[in-house]
Amino acid sequence: MVHKYRLNGFNVVLDVNSGSVHLVDEVVYDLLSYLSAADFCQSFEEIELGKLRDVRGAADLRSAYFEILSLWRAGLLFSEAFGVSEADLEEKLSGSPIKSMCLNVAHDCNLRCRYCFASTGDFGAGRKLMNLEVAKSAVDFLLERSGSRHNLEVDFFGGEPLLNFPVVKETVLYARSLEKDKDKKFRFTLTTNGLLLDDYIINFINDEMDNVVLSIDGRKFVNDEMRFDAAGFGSYESIVPKFQKLVSHRSGKDYYVRGTFTKKNLDFSKDVLHLYSLGFDQISIEPVVSDLSNPFAITESDMADVENEYENLMNKMIVMRKKGKCFNFFHFMFDFGNGPCITKRMKGCGCGNEYIAVTPDGEIFPCHQFVGTKEWSMGNVVKKSFNDGLRREFIKANIFSNEGCADCWAKFFCSGGCSANHFKFNGDIRKPYGLACRLQKKRIECAIFLNLVGKLGSAIG
Amino acid sequence: MRHIKTLFEGAFKPGAESCLGGCGECPSSCQSACKTSCTVANQKCEKIGAHLKVRAKKSN
Ligand code: SF4
Ligand code: SF4
Ligand code: SF4
């Protein structure tokens, strides 16, 4: 399978199975529309090229064809699919232990963000904090179920986890106390809206959290339009200095400033650059996940604008990089040579299989976005119950069986998408949501192009 | 080549022995990052030690 696209006047070709990328001229670009791997068994003269033979010169077509042929022979164009079947993948995944856990330590929040998927913190089920016993049971549950995995991830999430900071702290200490004995390494992440950060908490986070996700949407008016407290005050003024302080003391450890864009800021590249101007260089801005009935929801009619804006952002990044101003935009990051293995590419998300989310009551859901959806309740860490049947449903959500993924050129970068989104919009964890796929593909095209700029230098920028 | 410039030779060769991989030591979802979607493109592989996130150079 081959995917070709034009960007900034360049013709880019991705060979889907091998992951090779080529820049091609117009003749090859046209010719590729007519070819498939089966054609290479016949002579060039026999291949059905329709009108192309009249439009392009014979010598040009012929030399272009033989270049394509040589790349096919080298396994870099129209390369074969991997010899891995869906059954192989499922067999491999069915042996996976649980290795990651989202701890919703506070189903409560001190903000009332308009787009909150947790219904402004309580997941629609009443405000509640997790007590330490439940948190310890969750850590025990993870340790018991983690088999031979060494690295275990625990994310403190909510609501706003800092509303329950004492339990965050005690849980970290408890887990750390078991690491040596159990031969495990815990990697903690905390996601926060920033309001409750103070020097003590900042130091604790920078010492103990391997990653920290700082929620801010960008420019002040954009942020404060969506992120405000119960009295209606926007969070921007309070959080920016705290985030700057935290990041300046991070000593190279991972972090993201992470925002959401909505219909109200389809010019979100300005928010990305604003965050960079505040001193942040690890930036993620994501499309809102919301019922389409909300006035800020991103709908079909916004798609072209959002796609253009990704391109716009990419071009701004190219210009800035030339001036030595570099930052990472989460969804444009990747490395062709050293990406994940095939297993990961066939199923990227471990939701409900390797990864679970736990509520303040200890109830288990497949991931943080499923929390509160009763039909997906998987058990309880306090009762040590776990529904393996539901787990198998998630193993089957992969690029072989998700609707449309097997034939999608983006499959080895997207890896089947987000089951929670599929379910939210299509009622089925294996039925990808078309608009999300469209944006995913656009981001991947831009990300590939950004990598090419690195490779070719000024010739392409 | 006159018509084609190959910029990346794909990492995946069908039939390679290490084809399936999957030691499972890397993060298993979007959970430690954006929390709203999954993309493996930016995931670090722990096994080969590839550190995909090159820390951005600070500008002056
Ligand atoms: S973009 Fe959509 S169809 Fe393509 S692999 Fe991802 S989820 Fe599947
Ligand atoms: S289902 Fe979606 S939201 Fe849940 S862990 Fe996977 S990618 Fe993230
Ligand atoms: S660490 Fe590398 S080999 Fe192991 S599962 Fe992740 S991507 Fe695959």
- Supply the pLDDT for residue A460: 60
pLDDT tens track, chain A, 461 positions: 999 999 999 999 999 998 899 999 999 999 999 998 889 888 998 999 888 888 888 899 999 999 999 999 999 999 988 778 899 889 888 888 999 999 999 999 999 999 887 776 677 777 899 999 999 999 999 999 999 999 999 999 989 999 999 999 999 999 999 999 999 999 999 999 999 999 999 999 999 999 999 999 999 999 999 999 999 999 999 999 999 999 999 999 999 999 999 999 999 999 999 999 999 999 999 999 888 899 999 999 999 999 999 999 999 999 999 999 999 999 898 766 667 788 888 888 899 999 999 999 999 999 999 999 999 999 999 999 999 899 999 999 999 999 999 999 999 989 899 999 999 999 999 999 999 999 999 999 999 999 888 777 655 65
CB A127 within 8 A of CB A107: yes
| A4: number of Cβ within 10 Å | 16
Cβ distance B8 to A337 less than 8 Å, yes or no, reads yes
Name the A residues in 371-410 with CB < 8 Å from any B CB. none
Starting from the CA of residue B24, give the closest ligand. 3
> Which residue has the least CA distance to atom 3 on ligand 2?
B36
Cα angle vertex A144, ends A141, A147, to 5°? 130
Starting from the CA of residue A402, give the closest ligand. 1
Q: Residues of A with CB below 8 A from B28's CB?
A: 99-100, 153, 349-350, 353-355
Does residue A137 have its Cβ closer than 6 Å to ligand 2?
no
CB A316 within 8 A of CB A273: yes
- Supply the pLDDT for residue B36: 65
Q: What is the ipTM of this complex?
A: 0.86
Mean pLDDT of B19-43: 69
- Any CB–CB contact under 8 A between A422 and chain B? no
Starting from the CA of residue B25, give the closest ligand. 3
C-alpha B25/C-alpha A153 separation (Å) is 10
- Supply the pLDDT for residue A338: 67
Q: Which residues contact A188 (CB under 8 A, 6 or more apart)?
A: A153, A154, A155, A156, A172, A175, A208, A209, A210, A211
Using CB atoms, which residue from B3, B21, B56 is nearest to A342? Answer: B21
Sign of CA dihedral A165, A166, A171, A173: positive
Strand partners, A4: A13
Q: Omega into A159 within 30° of 0, i.e. cis?
A: yes
Name the B residues in 23-42 with CB < 8 Å from any A CB. 23-42
Structure confidence by residue, pLDDT tens digits, A200-238? 999 999 999 999 999 999 999 999 999 999 999 999 999
**Overall pTM > 0.90:** yes
Helix (H, G, I), strand (E, B) or coil at A17: coil
Return the residue matching tokens 């608009």: A435
Cα angle vertex A385, ends A384, A389, to 5°? 145
First and final CA of chain A: distance in angstroms? 27
Does residue A418 have its Cβ closer than 6 Å to ligand 2?
yes
C-alpha A333/C-alpha A318 separation (Å) is 13
> Which residue has the least CA distance to atom 2 on ligand 1?
A437
Tell me which of A378, A399, A419, A423 to substitute to probe ligand 2's pocket, judged by most ligand atoms within 8 Å of the beta carbon. A419
CA of A288: which chain B residue's CA is closest? Answer: B36
Structure confidence by residue, pLDDT tens digits, A87-140? 988 988 888 899 999 999 999 999 999 988 777 667 777 789 999 999 999 999
Using CB atoms, which residue from B7, B21, B36 is nearest to A21? Answer: B7
- Supply the pLDDT for residue A185: 96
Using CB atoms, which residue from B1, B45, B59 is nearest to A339? Answer: B45
Q: Average pLDDT, whole number, for chain A?
A: 93
Mean pLDDT of B35-44: 65
CB A458 within 8 A of CB A21: no
Q: How far is A456 from chain B (nearest CA, A)?
A: 8
- Supply the pLDDT for residue A262: 96
C-alpha A435/C-alpha A261 separation (Å) is 15
Q: Residues of B with CB below 8 A from A331's CB?
A: 34, 39, 42
CB A68 within 8 A of CB A33: no
- Any CB–CB contact under 8 A between A459 and chain B? no
Q: How far is A285 from chain B (nearest CA, A)?
A: 8
- Any CB–CB contact under 8 A between A61 and chain B? no
What phi and psi values does residue A106 have, to the nearest 5 degrees? Answer: -140, 115
User: CB within 6 Å of ligand 1 — which residues?
Assistant: A 399, 402, 404-405, 408, 410-411, 414, 416-417, 432, 437, 440-441
- Any CB–CB contact under 8 A between B17 and chain A? no
